[in-house]
Structure 1
């Protein structure tokens, strides 16, 4: 064996070793990075792990998925902008944040829109959602992979008991910054205080804010029972989220990988959502054990207080379409 062939062999071995050290992503033709604010203990994150495993198996390693919990790639809004620029990044995101690009998406985050996962799933697997997704693709260069990632109903976490909207007067409450969220919190009687989820615990601890509204798995995962005393079950938002990536990156995938990614995203969304349903009672029991008071209340006053949000934001007709879908 000559000198050159030995050198070539050594180089090849070195590359193979480096590849094995870096893992399967280096061998894949395509890699998708998925960012989420949630922790690894969240039931929805288990759905992302399911997606990762199934896509890599079904694509025979051609498409790899890397997961970044705890917003490791940045805030949702920043990751969406990276995706719009063509990066192979995806984010688990609510309709309120997508309304910046396509206003119709905001209706999905509206107050008391649907009941539980089965209710909202009808909406997000309908032709109405397909129309929204096409507008997002063509107008904002963002691709919806599936929109059936349910994180539970959102409730109030406060340091004083809440029974009616008047009890929220003067309370600074963290909520995401999109108009549908801030207008709803305002209509409920609180002062909206948008901030990144990662900042909520310390903001409550230092009394920069007085309260937060959140779904049970996220509240438990971030240990908010340590810095709030009451969880009031208003269920004002039915938090449905979607897996959204770059349209340019997605369009450049071979057609078979596009199909695999969309089909597996829908299946794993169901896995994540049913996992959330199954976990909620246990999560609430654990928060109660940790000293939190959990109050079931009559939500009628909150429904009445927030009913005008759809009209305020220009969603009256769209809300009628959604109601018609849910009535079928």
Structure 2
């Protein structure tokens, strides 16, 4: 038997093996949350829906709990190909895109209706396109996340009570500048380190949505829950634009559709329905609720855009103008 006939026989035999003709694309998705968190569950739904829409041609493997790295490492990994999707607080993209700083401007979004108006409408589309142009990252969907609350180990009723307090914030320039304006000592830190840092007194507090405060069991290590509701930051589902463009058109469509269907609806429903329940659970676990002077907080951070991020003023104005439209 010649070498050519041997190779032909081997190929023919392989073709008969179950699944041999099925070329599957495997994509890794990374996030930092515990599996009980709302958006961790939404990520699993997203993976299921991509597989279903592509008849198994695309498999999304979900790696949660920072197993593939911190938010910043995951976002950088999109460029290097160590991960294909990152799901997380959209403000993390500000390290690569000036426009992405808009996601975490404090006291910019008024409520959930205003949030939906922005991120499901033309302003959101403009933000997405600008991020792609500036960074090469493609946001394929925005999911609702509850507003961020402050949790501390001592009572905070106004900005004066934050003087010198070490507050863990995401690794984002907007968060750092905003909490400096409030008089605190903002301390960027990998989310996976926050519980231990609170427990050991390395930091005096942190800020996050109620769902994450609850599922991260922060009630075990911090006492006060302060209703600042200072940021409505979307959860972004992100790929490298180049990686997405390499996929066949039908697979690209399946990914975008899945990011904006069942998983998105689940996150929105759970956040909207759950806020009051999350608060009750945290109070039942021993946390003390504080209703602070929000106007005093807002006044302290109001100059931040003009002073520190003037390039954001045009898009910031569009977001604020939409809040007026919602009220009308």
Q: TM-score by structure 2 length?
A: 0.88
Q: Secondary structure at the match of 2:95?
A: coil
Quote the offset at 1:170 in angstroms.
1.7
**Distance change >3 Å, CA 284–CA 64, structure 1 → 2:** same
Answer yes or no: is the 8 Å Cα contact 1:201–1:227 preserved in 2: yes
Once superposed, which parts of structure 1, at least 4 consecutive aligned residues long, lie more than 3 Å away?
Answer: 11-16
Distance between the aligned counterparts of 1:29 and 1:209, measured in 2?
A: 46
Quote the offset at 1:243 in angstroms.
0.5
Matching residue of 2:213 = 219
Equivalent of 2:106 in 99, 107, 111: 111
| Consecutive unaligned residues in structure 1, runs of 5 or more | 21-25
Matching residue of 1:203 = 197
Answer yes or no: is the 8 Å Cα contact 1:43–1:279 preserved in 2: no
Distance between the aligned counterparts of 2:189 and 2:57, measured in 1?
A: 38
Quote the offset at 1:153 in angstroms.
0.8
Quote the offset at 1:131 in angstroms.
2.9
What RMSD, in angstroms, separates the aligned Cα atoms of the two structures? Answer: 2.5
**Distance change >3 Å, CA 219–CA 13, structure 1 → 2:** farther
Residue pairs, 1:95-106, within 5 angstroms: 95-106=90-101
Equivalent of 1:321 in 313, 318, 321: 318
Q: Does 1:129 align with 2:119?
A: no
Equivalent of 1:46 in 27, 37, 41: 41
Matching residue of 2:54 = 59
Q: Does 1:80 align with 2:46?
A: no
Distance between the aligned counterparts of 2:220 and 2:110, measured in 1?
A: 29
Quote the offset at 1:14 in angstroms.
12
What count of residue pairs does the alignment treat as equivalent?
A: 315
Please say which of residues 134-143 and 277-286 is displaced more in the overlay.
Answer: 134-143
Quote the offset at 1:129 in angstroms.
2.8
Quote the offset at 1:257 in angstroms.
1.2
**Distance change >3 Å, CA 29–CA 117, structure 1 → 2:** farther
**Distance change >3 Å, CA 317–CA 140, structure 1 → 2:** closer
Quote the offset at 1:87 in angstroms.
4.8
| Consecutive unaligned residues in structure 2, runs of 5 or more | 1-5
Distance between the aligned counterparts of 1:27 and 1:284, measured in 2?
A: 48
**Distance change >3 Å, CA 62–CA 156, structure 1 → 2:** same
Q: Secondary structure at the match of 1:65?
A: strand
**Distance change >3 Å, CA 27–CA 79, structure 1 → 2:** farther
Matching residue of 1:242 = 236
Quote the offset at 1:90 in angstroms.
1.1
Matching residue of 2:168 = 174
Answer yes or no: is the 8 Å Cα contact 1:96–1:179 preserved in 2: no
**Distance change >3 Å, CA 111–CA 255, structure 1 → 2:** same
**Distance change >3 Å, CA 15–CA 216, structure 1 → 2:** farther
Distance between the aligned counterparts of 1:55 and 1:105, measured in 2?
A: 26
Q: TM-score by structure 1 length?
A: 0.88
Residue pairs, 1:176-191, within 5 angstroms: 176-191=170-185
Matching residue of 2:224 = 230
**Distance change >3 Å, CA 140–CA 269, structure 1 → 2:** same
Distance between the aligned counterparts of 1:85 and 1:141, measured in 2?
A: 12
Matching residue of 1:284 = 279
Distance between the aligned counterparts of 2:47 and 2:148, measured in 1?
A: 27
